Amino acid sequence: MSTAPRLNRSLPGMPPAPPVRMIHMGIGNFHRAHQAWYTAHAEDSADWGYAGFTGNSPKISDALAPQDGLYTLVTQGSDGDHPEVIGVISEVHPASDHAALLAKFADPQVVVVTITVTEQGYLRGPDGGLDLSQQVVQDDIAAAKADPRAVVRSAPARIAAGLAARRKAGAGAITILSCDNLPANGEVAQRVVSDFAAAVDPALAEWIAGNVDFATSMVDRITPATTEGLQARVEELCGWTDASPVPTEPFHEWVVQGSFPAGRPKWETAGAKLVDDVEPYEQRKLWLLNGSHTLMAYAGPIRGHETVEQAIKDPKVRAWVDTFWAEASRYLTLPADENADYRQALVERFENPNIRHNLAQIAHDGSTKLVVRTIPTILNERAAGNLPRGCATTVAAWVLHLRGLGAPVADKLAGPALEAANSGGLEVAVPKVLDTLSPGLGQDAELVALVLEQAAAIQAD
């Protein structure tokens, strides 16, 4: 049993809690390595504290509340582990503390809400709007109609309930800033929150349209899940126990587009880029980094790999990744030489031997991820008359994954794809799975043949 003290603000040298002027919804590892890090490193960090809320499970709030919101961020580079205490989370709450969430939204001092609720947390339907067919959405609409302060569970409903409380309090304009790996994540957040509000109270939807800035951002920092080994390492390096330290890589990037009518931390002083159009950066990151992660997450485990590092160092996987990158790069709008440098830097980041990024973690929720990471390049390539072998490798590996090979399936929305993938032999399954990703794609005989070829290649040797 350790005799080391638990990390908390009364230990010598710990930072004071800044005043709460921001909310984070979906506090997990990524928020703590990224938005909280940028805030802690901004020149006005002493003025900007976070009230952090988990997205669903109370695991992180249970770990951080006894630590006064403090945690150890361990940057794992080729030169070893660098621990740092991050102090900008001034208070932390479980998602179930709905009253606290409403109180923070109603506070005029609070002017920014960052969110990381995962790609599936937005509950989008096939038309991009809020999926009204989902039970949780229907339950939340009924609850919010009966009482605007009623406890609701989905992210769009919780944000809309917070905004209703803000409108009632006359607390003024606010920015909702999405930090999830989704293209046009600000527009996506705006659409699902506005759809929810319109279903509950059209006047609220109108208030949102006039008072809420939905900002968009490209976020990047490879941040795996915490391990017990990291907890032991922190105790060894720092002399305190931390129930929830965060491992991360040295690289970080944040490109933000928003008007922030009520202010924000000076994130640019910590290296964030504030731009008028985030889309070119988003596309490059989602297609090159996340797209190749997705390829490796399904193909890697079938070839016996557990981590990104192992997969990228397998020459066969590396060749598939290079092929995929060449295909996707044809449709990027940033300068070609910058994209080439970006790919080279990605190889170095993926090969980092000190970061253990499990492929099974990245394999979660493929039905949502392939649609934004792989399908756009397939459609672009087919329209140009090309056969995209790299993209076909991702699809083939995903079909094999859905048929039980490699990492276990963890994807609440994969029902139709799972059924399609297991409906017969691969020749039957592949067109059906392609149709779940993009209706009609399964009719493309040349593409189907290529996916089958790559399925054989993944399973060879």
| Residues forming the site for ligand NAD (CB under 6 A) | 26-31, 54-57, 60, 116-121, 155, 180-181, 219, 221-223
Binder of residue 88, out of ligand 44H, ligand NAD, none (CB less than 5 to 8 A by kind) = none
Least Cβ distance, residue 34 to ligand NAD (angstroms): 7
Least Cβ distance, residue 364 to ligand 44H (angstroms): 6
Q: Quick check: 356 binds ligand 44H (CB under 6 A)?
A: no
Which residues are within 8 A (CB) of 405 and not within 5 positions of it... i.e. 6 or more apart? 301, 302, 459
User: Considering only residues 140, 195, 220, 282, which one is a binding residue for ligand 44H as defined by CB under 6 A?
Assistant: 220
β-bridge pairing 89-93 and 273-274: unpaired
Nearer to ligand 44H, 111 or 286 (CB): 286
User: Considering only residues 181, 257, 377, 454, which one is a binding residue for ligand 44H as defined by CB under 6 A?
Assistant: 181
Nearer to ligand NAD, 2 or 133 (CB): 133
Binder of residue 57, out of ligand 44H, ligand NAD, none (CB less than 5 to 8 A by kind) = ligand NAD
Least Cβ distance, residue 350 to ligand NAD (angstroms): 12
Binder of residue 332, out of ligand NAD, ligand 44H, none (CB less than 5 to 8 A by kind) = none
Nearer to ligand 44H, 119 or 131 (CB): 119
Q: Quick check: 32 binds ligand 44H (CB under 6 A)?
A: no
Binder of residue 436, out of ligand NAD, ligand 44H, none (CB less than 5 to 8 A by kind) = none
Binder of residue 155, out of ligand 44H, ligand NAD, none (CB less than 5 to 8 A by kind) = ligand NAD
Binder of residue 290, out of ligand NAD, ligand 44H, none (CB less than 5 to 8 A by kind) = ligand 44H
Q: Quick check: 434 binds ligand 44H (CB under 6 A)?
A: no
Least Cβ distance, residue 445 to ligand 44H (angstroms): 31
β-bridge pairing 253-257 and 212-220: antiparallel
Q: Quick check: 290 binds ligand 44H (CB under 6 A)?
A: yes
Q: Quick check: 216 binds ligand 44H (CB under 6 A)?
A: no
Q: Quick check: 343 binds ligand 44H (CB under 6 A)?
A: no
Binding interface with ligand 44H (CB under 6 A): 119, 181, 220-222, 289-290, 293, 362, 364
